[in-house]
Structure 1
Amino acid sequence: MKISIKNKITIAMLVVILTSVSSLGFFAYKKSKEILIEDIKHKNFTTLDNIYNYFFQNFMEGMEYTVNHWADNQYIVSYKKNPGDPKTVNKMPEGLHGIANKWKGIVEANPDIGWMYFGVQEDGSFLISPIDPSITESYDPREREWYIQATENPDRVIWTDPYVDAGESSLIVVTVAKAVLKQDDLVGVIGIDIKLDKFSEITKNLVFGDEGYLMLISNEGDIYAHPDDDLLMDTAKNEDWFQEILMGDSGTKMFTSTEGKNKIITYLTIPQTNWKLVGITTVDIIEMITPIKNQVVMIALISIAIAFIIGYILSLIVTRPVGEIMKVIHKISKGEMGVRADIQSRDEFKVLGNKFNEMLVEIEGLLKERDLNVKKLIDKNKEIMGQNDEILAFSEETEALNEELSYLLNEIRNNYLSTVKALANSIEAKDSYTRGHCERVRNISLAIGKVMGLNQEEINNLEFASLLHDIGKIGIPLEILNKEGFISAEALETVQKHPQIAYNILSDVEFLKESREIIYQHHERVDGKGYPRGLKGEEISLPAKILAVADAYDAMTSTRPYRKISLTKEEALEELEAVKGRQLDIEVVDTFIKILKENQIEIDA
């Protein structure tokens, strides 16, 4: 389906506006959600901090003040039992009756306090008010946790974890205690039992958020205060948020509940006890953010409507001049030359229309020139057609001459090659040791070259080089070639000249140009110790490396004047392995050994 320019402009405007508004709306929605969550977290933490400061901290500091006051009381500090007096439990000595009455008044005025008492270090006496008849004479305060903690921390007030009172009241209490010292000597410990219900009462009477509640827990997860009395001294270890709040002293975390709502956990650590004061609220973030989402959608819809109107107006402005130009093009396609575009606007489309009209004038001129040139070409073509027969006859004659010349060149090439091969054969005929050597080297070289991927031209050059590689021995005296046993340095130097002699013999034969270079290099070594030029590594061509391996293998497996017994195939392969990388190319040797082991070549003896 074809879409007009007008529609394309309208759609483009819609896409741009919709994309921009959608992106802006998405990020605004996301940012609003983040701000809302952070605001809730901040308010919750501020509320929790205020609750701690105004209720828990004030209450606990008041208790600590009371304990410190009595721990510094001169009668308590100076207390010492009379000699011979028995251990005292559940009654006050005469000298402390006034203090006992004050303690009783404090307890009666503060229903959150269970008892006030003084544990004596000297004999384990336990002076308590009001009197608890259920405490027996065997009770020794020095063995109690609150006493031990206070004596281990004599410089500060200590708070115990909740425990069941030692009497028959079965109350769960928290003890706040302080060691009594007289010139660094321990006199005893002052303690106040606070009913655990006091902390639950605080959590019950305070509002935390819209649907939230407070709880007090230990680092082990024991619940010390909760609006639900059934959960007191239960555990919060299994709650998904418990491990998170253990990792810090204070903070706010958000979790998703099973109902899909967000649970916000706010906590701080009470320094006196290391307990965690925890506030838990449940909020529906999606519901709270819905008004913002609705506003974003409304803005997006309004923007789309505006974009559609603007796009439609722009499309009309753009398409009118284009439509005028299209009308002119349509008339020209029907053969109506001489028409021109009439653009009424004063913008770039006016310039475009003028340039279009100028182009039409040029095209009309070119068409007239074309017609004139066509006429000239027709006349010239008639003249050329008259000469066509002569050209064809000349072409046939030239083709025949080329064929004859090609035949003569091949004849010359073959005759020269036959002559050179005859020379090589004549050398082999004089030397019974090397008879058939060139043919065997040829067979080995071609087998290696084909496996190593040489192209046909390289194969042909390698074949000629293999057949003619010893032609240079024409210039070597026969008595040196056939000398048995040790050969002198002078004779060896003479023998090593045969690659140069071969190169010189073949230097005037153009089609053997590549082959003579292979022959020239076939006694070079990859370690640079060969002859005649001392080439090494990549300086030696691959065909020359192949010829060197083929020549060496046939020499090893044939009799020579200097070696009457030829090597076996296995011995020759071991020798090739020994010299590869120094004398011979590793890749060529490995390829030849693989060919030989897989019987891909037959070498005539």
Structure 2
Amino acid sequence: MRIKIRSKITIIMLILIIISVTTLGFLTYDDSKEIVINQIKLSNYKTLQNVNDYFLKNFMYDMEYIINYWTSKDELKNYRNHANQPKMVTSIPKHFKPISDQWTGYASSSPDIAWIYLGVEEDGSIFITPIDSTMPDDYDCRTREWYQATVKNNNKIIWTEPYVDAGELGNVIVTVAKAVHKDDHLVGVLGMDIKLKKFSDIINDIQFGENGYLMLLSKNGDVYAHPDNKMLTKNISDKEWVKTILSNEQGTDIHTWNNEKVVISYLTVPNTQWKLVGVNPINIDKEVAPIKNRFISIGIFSMIITLIIGYFLSSIIINPVNNMMKVINQVSTHNDFNVRVKIKSKDEFKILGENFNNMIQKIRDLLEERNIHVQELVDKNKEILSQKEELLAYSEETEAMNEELLNLLDEVRKNYLSTVKVLANSIEANDKYTHGHCDRVRNYSISIAKELNMSQTKINVLEFASILHDIGKIGIPTSIINKEGKLTDEEFKLIQEHPQIGYNILKAVDFLEESRNILLQHHERIDGKGYPLQLKGDEINILAKILIVADAYDAMTSTRPYRKDPLTTEEAITQLQLGKGTQFDERIVDVFLDLLAKNEIAS
């Protein structure tokens, strides 16, 4: 299917804008995706901080307030066992009863408090409210972890890890405690046991995100609080994301848990080594979908604008060509030599049009002269037939006229050549690296043809083909022709179209019919791996084989955008020899190398 130049220009612009928009879209999409993810992570963490500050921390502050209040009271600071007072675990001494009664009120009003008690340093007694009769008689508070940890922390409040209480039904509890001092004397430790269930209730009552939830972990990875009761007290420290949480103070990251992507934020609860963890499922594709849709809309809009602009820009280039093609068709089809090309632009097309008009005028003048001479010849032939005796006299005159006709034909050929050179100049104006390339290829080709004793007619055909062999590059974007470095696959495919483009451009010019068939084949190879027709061996015209060698040699020994340093003559000769039988015809290469050695290249 024949594709018009207008369509090619529009398609090229469309491809360029698609590549640009797609590349920009991918890069920006990734950045936008990263920004959205970071915003989600930040929002998740801030929500977790709010939960900690306004719920968990407030509850713990209330409990610590009770502890601080009583450890500062003189009733506790001044407490001493009476003389001969036995060790007490399941009872309370009479002189401690007023304090115990107040504690009973606290415990009754707050079901989350299991016990309030004072562990006495003097003998290891513990005054617990409410009294727990199941406590073992040999209980010594001074041996318990909560007691020892509190004493080590001096005047600081401590929160213990959850543990099974020694009394009653063995509830899992958390102790908040602080040492009681009178000056430098350790009176004991005030402790308050809080049911672990309270922390689960606080966390489970909070809506974390749209579909998220909270959990509380110990420093060892035990689950203190979780919306799923089956998870309580379970150790999940073997999970990779849990290992990360336990080894850091705070943070947010995206992990895979239970086969779904989740945002996990965590922080360390103050005064403890517990980790408050927020888990929120995330659908990244859904979050960034609006951004992706916007880029698609921009891409579609850009393509529509490109099609419109491409249509109008292509008109600027195509109109001069169409004008010239109409005139060529008028001349070749109807032999109308009165028509003229009208081009308003001030570029190479204007020069081409002016030269073409000059050529038509000269051809017209030559034809008129020819008709006059033909008529004269007819008249003279009549005279010869009627006057046989004057035949010899007219013989010399006829010979002179024939010679003049040959001169006129030679003038026509020169005019053709002048037109062809103008076309060649338009090629070189489009390709800054190939100045003089067409003339050199012409000289090489003519030298080879003469060495092979070819007829002048074939040499003329080869000469025009050599000068115009790259005319098709007019249809290739200048940015690709002059691109420095390696071409992309897409760009190289466009370059491969220039023989066919050149053939199409010259299709309507009758006197270049044979020449355009030669230039169509000037990138074929003997092994059939060339383009555009993949011809091989004897399928390739002998004149095209000559042009292939001449073009390749000049390309190797000239500066090109993809190769700043040309090959030396010796290096180019080596490449020609290596290509014999695959890329080049062996006989043509041998003849050309012989001409180079003898320095017999035409100029």
The question of whether the paired residues in 1 share the 8 Å contact of 2:200 and 2:225 is answered with yes
Secondary structure, in 3 states, of the residue corresponding to 2:315? Answer: helix
What is the one-letter code of the residue matched to 1:308?
A: L
Deviations 1:302-343 (A, max 9, x none): 332332233223323321111223344567778977864212
Corresponding residue number in structure 2 for 1:103: 103
Corresponding residue number in structure 1 for 2:400: none
Corresponding residue number in structure 2 for 1:182: 182
Corresponding residue number in structure 2 for 1:378: none
Aligned equivalents of 1:257 and 1:178: distance in 2?
39
What is the one-letter code of the residue matched to 1:215?
A: M
Corresponding residue number in structure 2 for 1:279: 278
Larger Rg belongs to: 1
> Quick check: 1:125 aligned with 2:122?
no
Corresponding residue number in structure 1 for 2:51: 51
Corresponding residue number in structure 1 for 2:295: 296
- Superposed, 1:530-541 pairs within 5 Å as none
What is the one-letter code of the residue matched to 2:51?
A: I
- Superposed, 1:233-272 pairs within 5 Å as 233-257=233-257, 259=259, 261-272=260-271
The question of whether the paired residues in 2 share the 8 Å contact of 1:150 and 1:157 is answered with yes
Aligned equivalents of 1:92 and 1:256: distance in 2?
54
Aligned equivalents of 1:246 and 1:143: distance in 2?
28
Structure 1 residue 109: deviation in Å? 1.3
Aligned equivalents of 2:232 and 2:258: distance in 1?
24
Secondary structure, in 3 states, of the residue corresponding to 1:194? Answer: strand
Q: How many residues align?
A: 371
Corresponding residue number in structure 2 for 1:203: 203
> Quick check: 1:353 aligned with 2:350?
yes
Query: Judging changes above 3 Å, is the alpha-carbon distance between structure 1 residues 95 and 257 closer, same or farther for their aligned structure 2 residues?
Result: closer
Secondary structure, in 3 states, of the residue corresponding to 1:210? Answer: coil
What is the one-letter code of the residue matched to 1:296?
A: F
The question of whether the paired residues in 2 share the 8 Å contact of 1:341 and 1:353 is answered with no
Aligned equivalents of 2:135 and 2:409: distance in 1?
134
The question of whether the paired residues in 2 share the 8 Å contact of 1:325 and 1:353 is answered with no
Corresponding residue number in structure 2 for 1:227: 227
Secondary structure, in 3 states, of the residue corresponding to 1:216? Answer: strand
Corresponding residue number in structure 1 for 2:89: 89
The question of whether the paired residues in 1 share the 8 Å contact of 2:114 and 2:193 is answered with yes
In the alignment, structure 2 segments of 5+ residues that lack a partner are: 367-403, 412-603
Aligned equivalents of 2:256 and 2:315: distance in 1?
53
Q: TM-score, normalised by structure 2?
A: 0.57
> Quick check: 1:74 aligned with 2:71?
no
Corresponding residue number in structure 2 for 1:38: 38
Deviations 1:217-252 (A, max 9, x none): 022111111112221110122334212223421111
Aligned equivalents of 2:346 and 2:241: distance in 1?
67
The question of whether the paired residues in 1 share the 8 Å contact of 2:320 and 2:349 is answered with no
Aligned equivalents of 1:89 and 1:304: distance in 2?
86
Query: Judging changes above 3 Å, is the alpha-carbon distance between structure 1 residues 35 and 207 closer, same or farther for their aligned structure 2 residues?
Result: same
The question of whether the paired residues in 1 share the 8 Å contact of 2:341 and 2:356 is answered with no
Secondary structure, in 3 states, of the residue corresponding to 2:170? Answer: coil
Corresponding residue number in structure 1 for 2:65: 65
Aligned equivalents of 2:71 and 2:205: distance in 1?
32
The question of whether the paired residues in 2 share the 8 Å contact of 1:165 and 1:172 is answered with yes
Structure 1 residue 363: deviation in Å? 10
Corresponding residue number in structure 2 for 1:134: 134
What is the one-letter code of the residue matched to 1:357?
A: E
Aligned equivalents of 1:58 and 1:151: distance in 2?
25
Aligned equivalents of 2:58 and 2:30: distance in 1?
41
The question of whether the paired residues in 2 share the 8 Å contact of 1:216 and 1:278 is answered with yes
Aligned equivalents of 1:71 and 1:309: distance in 2?
84
Aligned equivalents of 1:247 and 1:84: distance in 2?
51
Aligned equivalents of 1:360 and 1:167: distance in 2?
117
Secondary structure, in 3 states, of the residue corresponding to 1:241? Answer: helix
Corresponding residue number in structure 2 for 1:18: 18
What is the one-letter code of the residue matched to 1:158?
A: I
- Superposed, 1:128-527 pairs within 5 Å as 128-257=128-257, 259=259, 261-328=260-327, 340-343=340-343, 345=344, 347-348=345-346, 352-354=349-351, 356-358=353-355, 361=358, 371=407
Deviations 1:9-41 (A, max 9, x none): 110221122223323433443333323222221
Percent identity reads 43
Deviations 1:460-518 (A, max 9, x none): xxxxxxxxxxxxxxxxxxxxxxxxxxxxxxxxxxxxxxxxxxxxxxxxxxxxxxxxxxx
In the alignment, structure 1 segments of 5+ residues that lack a partner are: 376-605
Let me know the Cα RMSD of the aligned residues.
2.9
The question of whether the paired residues in 2 share the 8 Å contact of 1:165 and 1:173 is answered with yes
Secondary structure, in 3 states, of the residue corresponding to 1:155? Answer: coil
The question of whether the paired residues in 1 share the 8 Å contact of 2:115 and 2:192 is answered with yes
Corresponding residue number in structure 2 for 1:449: none
Larger deviation: 187-196 or 5-14?
5-14
Corresponding residue number in structure 2 for 1:455: none
Deviations 1:153-194 (A, max 9, x none): 113111110001110222110111111122222221110001
Deviations 1:273-294 (A, max 9, x none): 1111000011222233334433
Q: TM-score, normalised by structure 1?
A: 0.57
Larger deviation: 188-197 or 330-339?
330-339
Aligned equivalents of 2:258 and 2:100: distance in 1?
55
Corresponding residue number in structure 2 for 1:113: 113
Aligned equivalents of 1:202 and 1:348: distance in 2?
84
Corresponding residue number in structure 2 for 1:492: none
Structure 1 residue 43: deviation in Å? 1.7
Secondary structure, in 3 states, of the residue corresponding to 1:206? Answer: coil
Secondary structure, in 3 states, of the residue corresponding to 2:122? Answer: coil
Aligned equivalents of 1:373 and 1:301: distance in 2?
58
Secondary structure, in 3 states, of the residue corresponding to 2:201? Answer: helix
